[in-house]
Amino acid sequence: MQIAQLSVALPTVRQGREIVLLADLESHETGFGFVDAEHLLLAAVTLCSGMPRFRPALDAHGVSPEAVRAEISVFVGARASCPDEHDRVACTPAAARVLARAAVLAGPAERVRPVHVLLAVLDGVDDPFMGSAHDVLDALGVEPRRFRRALRRAARRA
C-alpha cells in the first residue's frame, strides 16, 4: 500500500512546531517514515497529559498516551524508511489537514496548541480525509461530543 506523503518545512512555533516535532519523533521511534494524523493525536495527548487543566478531561474519557500509542499500531499500517532530513517533516495529507484545521481553531492571533490538534481530530470524525486518528479515539471508547465539550471547558479555564 502506497501512502502519499508531503514533505513540509518545519512549522513555526505559532503553527505548532513542538507538536509536529513530537509527532515526528513518535513516528520515527516506531519505524514509520512519515507523520500521520494518528501521530499528531499521540503528540497532542502526550502534551495535554502534562497540563493540569487538561489531564482530568483526558482521564475521564480514558485517553492516555499509552492507550493511544497501543491503538495507533492497529490503525497505522505501512512502514517506510525514515528520511534523514532534519529541516523537513514527511507527513500525510491527513496530517496536513489536521494541522490546517488546528490553525483555524487557534485563530490568527494565537499559536496552535495541543488542545487545538485534539479538537481538530474530533472535528474530523465525519471527514474521511482526516485520517484514522478519530478511529483511534473511537477504539478507546471516546464519545466525541462529550470529549470536545470537556476539552473546551478545560481550555476556557486557562
Q: Does residue 122 fall inside a structural domain?
A: yes
Counts for the chain of helices (H) and strands (E), in that order: 8, 2
pLDDT at 79: 52
- Tell whether the model's pLDDT for residue 6 goes beyond 50: no
Residue 7: how many CB atoms within 10 A of its CB? 11
Q: Give the CB-side neighbour count of residue 4, counting CA atoms within 13 A.
A: 6
What is the predicted pLDDT for the residue at 3? Answer: 47
Distance CA 75, CA 47 (A): 21
State yes or no: pLDDT of 117 exceeds 70: yes
Report if residue 93 sits inside a domain.
yes
Amino acid at 40: L
**Assigned domain for 49 exists:** yes
pLDDT tens string 13-52: 455 788 988 999 988 887 777 888 999 999 999 999 999 9
Distance CA 148, CA 121 (A): 10
Burial 103-123 (b: 16+ CB within 10 A, else e): bebbeeeebbbbbbbbbbbbb
| pLDDT (average), residues 96-116 | 89
What is the model's pTM? 0.83
Mean pLDDT, the chain, whole residue set:
82
Percentage of the chain modeled with pLDDT above 90 = 42
Q: Does some domain include residue 106?
A: yes
What does the pLDDT read at residue 12?
A: 52
With 60 as the cut, is the pLDDT of residue 131 above it?
yes
Residue 114 placed within a domain:
yes
Give the whole-angstrom CA distance, residue 88 versus residue 7.
6
* Domain tally, the chain: 1
Q: What's the CATH code of the domain at 126?
A: 1.10.1780.10
Give residue 145's pLDDT: 92
Residue 94 belongs to a domain: yes
Which of these, 90, 80, 94, lies nearest to 30 by C-alpha position? 80
Is residue 76 included in any domain, yes or no?
yes
Q: DSSP string of 30-97?
A: TT-SSB-HHHHHHHHHHHHHTSTTTHHHHHHTT--HHHHHHHHHHH-----PPP--SSEEEE-HHHHH
For range 102-117, the mean pLDDT: 89
Whole-angstrom distance, CA of residue 45 vs CA of residue 24: 14
Host domain of residue 99: 6-156
Q: 124 φ, ψ to 5°? A: -90, 15
Q: Give pLDDT, residue 13.
A: 46
- Tens digit of pLDDT for each residue in 63-84? 999 999 998 877 655 455 555 5
1, part of any domain: no
